[in-house]
Each structure stands twice: as structure tokens, then as C-alpha cells.
Amino acid sequence: MEKYPEELEISQGAVLLFTGQRNLLLFPRMLPCFTLMVDILGRFMARFLVSILVACLPVCPVEAGQAAPDAHSHRLDSLLLNADFERAKEMLQRGALNEAVTAAQAGLNRSPRSVDGLNLLGMILHQLKRYGESEEVLQKALKINSRSTATLNNLAINFVSQEKFDQAERTFRETLRITPQDRSANYNLGLLLLSRKRSREAILALQRVHPADSSVLLNLVQAQLMAGLTAQALRTTETLSRQNAKDVKLHFTLGVVLASKKQYGPAIHEFEIANALQPRAIEILHDLGQAYLRNGQFSKAEATLGQGLELDRHSAETLYLLAQCLADQNKDIEALELLLRARKFAPENTDVILLMARLSMKQQFYEDAIVLLQEGIKVDAARAEFHAALGESYFTVGKVDAAVEEFKLLLQLDHSARSYTYMGLCQRHLGKLDDARGYLNQGLKLDPHDSVILFNLGVIARKQQEQAQAEQYLRQALKVNPAYAEALF
């Protein structure tokens, strides 16, 4: 199953595609399959899609100071000029970029003030990733016609490719100052603002795009979800889903967008429609099963992932999700069997390694967990969960010094309340109560309602003969978690 990536439109019919690390998938051109949780804020990387270009380029007028040719020579020059640009477009579409540059320059030699010709050359240079030269050519076109919205849009996209996002935004806004309803500028500005987490501004830009096709509405759903406007996002989703009832790719992508914001119920609805339209597609079954799992619908998740596994018995990702489903139902032994199979097919899959280690810890096989976690760290030393679990395992088997070293690494990777809690517990165990209190207070600043931190601060205060403070912490812990039995004593 393919998905809708983000794209920026280029004026005059061309399209600029933005992909990023784990970008959300929001425009009808397809990319390979994905996993459910998506990071939509990856850095932009830009490239041109050259399947559609300028349909025709007008012949420039005679320049000032130039003798007017006779009618025959003017028609001949026009034909030659059009032939050069047409050849440039043809070469660009074929991917013969250097030949395209030569042809475009030949056309511009005949009419150096052709704004359309300069735009074409700028596009070709951009495709060659010669962004500085492309920018220079487009700036030259603006000197000829400062109100050319096509040139402004292309220049803004060139700035995005160079990660000059502030200049890109200013240039899109200049286009809109000239033509407030410019479709490309509003759409592209909306995507740029969305990528920069300015979702409410993105909504305003996207709402000015008319007509609002599927790509616009998909981006609008994403912006509304990012802005916390869930009710509006779900209404937009319903409209989009209803208008594209038979579009399997759109329903699939819409499910991804919703699931990425933990709207699992609506996401499941869209995945189920996609599954009905295209049964037994492993990508749909994979993501539908994962959405069921995240939504706590374990029996449906197990059945759906089982169908996916029938289609590809070597899929480590599907085996992992099915194992996670079983583990969430306390079927640990069955889950471990699936994880062993998954590891045969993907020995360096860190999700598989981590879940195996956690299940080993749950079964109190801490030495086995330590070996697994050490192997996982060799694969991905920056994954905080490995260090947290390894430190906990060391601590449990009495290797407190080793645990402290792991938790030091954890704090470098993950400045969370959990990380400070781990270190605080180690220091408390070593009898370093002041150090323990310092780490726990750091964690409490990050999460004032963490019952474990409150409880341990209460215990430390009691040991330091601060009874009133101890009672206050323990009461707070019970208020947060009334079932915290240890805080009663």
C-alpha cells in the first residue's frame, strides 16, 4: 500500500515534493509502506518532479534599442526560441539535465529577458541541486518582473530546499500580498507553517486554498489535529472520507494521519474501509492490526495481524506486533516464541530485542535480559529505553554501581522524570539520601504528579526525621494514586 507524501506545488504546472524523516503523507503521489507512528516534523529535503512542466512559453518582445526584425525573421526566431525551450522541457522530462540546461540557455541567448525562460532554467538548475545558481536565475527574473508570482513561488521553494525557511516564508507572503488568493502560495505556505509547528497559521493558509481538493483537506486535518482542534479535524475527516469513498489510498493515508495523533477509533474506521476496498493487502492489515492493538482491541488485533502473517510469514514487524498483542494479554511465553522467530529474520530489530528483554525481566530472568540489552545497545546506543531497562536489571541483581553508570547515560539521552527517578532510587539504595532527594526533586519538577517520586521523597524525609514533610509527600502520593498501598505505612 502506498501513501500520500507532502508536496509543495511549483508554479507553471511543476510540482516540488518534500520528503523528510518520517514525514506525514499528505498529497497524491505514492511512497512505499510505513509504520503507524509517524514523526511529521522531519527536516525538509526537496526535489523537483519533472513529469509536468510549462505547457508553452510566450515569445518575448523586442528589447529596447534592438532593431525590429522583419516579419519573416521574427517568425523564424519565434520558432527557434520555442524549439529551444521545448527541447529543454523534453530533456528535463527525460532526466537529461545537462542537455536541458544547454537548450534553456540557448533560448535565453535569443531572449535574455524571458521571465518564463528564466523560470525554466531555474527549475532545471534546482533539479541538479545547484540551488545557488537557481536562486540567482530566479532573482534575475524578479528584476525583470518583480510582481511575477510564478517566480516568487519558485524562489520560495528554492529557499526551502536550502533550509532558508524564514526567507521562504517571506517570499510566499510577498506572493500573497500581490495575489491574496494565489493557490500555490497559500498551499505551500500552509505546508511550511505546518512543518514548523505553527499549526493555527497553517490552518488559515490552507483554508484560503480553493478549490480544496484531497491534498488540501488532508493537510488541513493534520493541522487541526496538531492545533488540538480535534472536533474540527474529525469533521474534516468525515467530509474527506465521504467525498472519496472508493479511494483506498486516501482512506489508508487518512488512517495514518489519525493514528499518528492517537485518534485510534477514527483511524480504525478508515483502515477498515481501506481493507474492505482492497482485502488482504499486508500493509493495510499491518496498520489496522496495530491500530486495534493501540486501541486495546486485542482479539481483533490478534486476528488481523494473524491474517497479515499468513501473507508474509517472514515479516519481523508483524511478528513483533503480534507478540506485543500477546504480551499485553499476559501471554508471555507465546509472545517470546514469536519474538524468537522474528529475531531470526531481523536479528538487529531493536523493537524485538527490547520486548524480549522486558518479557525476560517480567519473568525475573534478569541475567538473560542483561545480555539482550547489551546486544541492543551495540545496535543502537542512543536508544534510551535500552539504558533504562539495563540499569533496572543491574540494580535488581545487585550490580548497583553498573546501574548508576547506565542511569548516567540515560540522563544524557532522556531528561525525563523517569530517568531522574531511576537515579534517585539508586542513590537512595546507596544511602546517599541528599543526592537521591536532589534527583527526585528534579524529576518532580518535570512531573509534579508522579506518585513514585512523591512516595520516595516521603520515605527519604522520614529517614531524615522530617515527619511533617514526609506526611505531606505521602498524602500527595495517595492523592495521585489512591491504590498506592506502600504510602499508607
Average pLDDT over every residue of 433-444: 95
Which residues, listed in sequence order, are joined to residue 7 by a DSSP beta bridge? 17
- Looking at the domain 348-414, which fold is it? 1.25.40
DSSP string, 55-110: S--PPPPPPTTPPPPPHHHHHHHHHHHHHHHHHHHHHHHHT-HHHHHHHHHHHHHH
- All residues at 6 or more sequence positions from 423 whose CB lies less than 8 Å from its CB, including other chains: 404, 407, 408, 410, 411, 439
Q: Domain coordinates of the chain in residue numbers?
A: 1-60+73-204, 348-414, 417-489
Average pLDDT over residues 337-364: 96
What percent of the chain is modeled with pLDDT above 70? 82
Cell of 303: 486476528
- The dihedral over CA atoms of 341, 344, 348, 351, expressed in degrees to the nearest 10, equals -10
153 near 185, Cβ under 8 Å?
A: yes
Answer whether 5's CB lies under 8 Å from 27's CB.
yes
The CATH architecture one would assign to domain 1-60+73-204 is: Alpha Horseshoe (1.25)
Amino acid, single-letter form, for residue 444: L
Provide the sign of the torsion angle of the four alpha carbons 388, 393, 396, 399, taken in this order. Answer: negative
**What is the rounded average pLDDT for all residues in the chain?**
84
Report pLDDT for 469: 92
Supply the DSSP string of 330-387, one letter for each residue: T-HHHHHHHHHHHHHH-TT-HHHHHHHHHHHHHTT-HHHHHHHHHHHHHH-TT-HHHH
In single-letter form, the type of residue at position 347 comes to P
Mean pLDDT confidence for 448-471: 92
Grade residue 382 by pLDDT with cuts at 50, 70 and 90. Answer: very high
- The least confident of 26-30, 160-164, 226-230, 417-421 is 26-30
Residue 223 has pLDDT above 50, yes or no: yes
Residues 6+ apart with CB under 8 A from 106: 84
pLDDT attached to residue 62: 28
pLDDT in tens, 92-138: 999 999 999 999 999 899 888 989 899 999 999 999 999 999 999 99
- Average pLDDT of the residues in 238-267: 96
DSSP 19: E
Give the pLDDT confidence score for residue 403 in this predicted structure.
95
Give the model's pLDDT for residue 391: 96
Give residue 75's pLDDT band: very low, low, confident or very high (50, 70, 90): very low
- pLDDT (average), residues 439-443: 95
Q: How far apart are CA 116 and CA 122, in angstroms?
A: 10
Summarised one tens digit per residue, pLDDT across range 8-65 is 444 433 333 222 222 222 222 222 222 222 333 232 323 222 222 332 333 232 233 3
Amino acid residing at 51? S
User: So what's the pLDDT on residue 110?
Assistant: 87
Query: Model's pTM, two decimal places?
Result: 0.76
Q: Supply the pLDDT for residue 35.
A: 27
1-60+73-204 and 348-414 share one fold = yes
The pLDDT of residue 486? 63
Listed in sequence order, the residues at least 6 apart from 482 whose beta carbon sits closer than 8 Å to its beta carbon are none
CATH number of 417-489: 1.25.40.10
Q: What is the DSSP letter of 28?
A: S
Question: Does 268 score more than 80 pLDDT?
Answer: yes
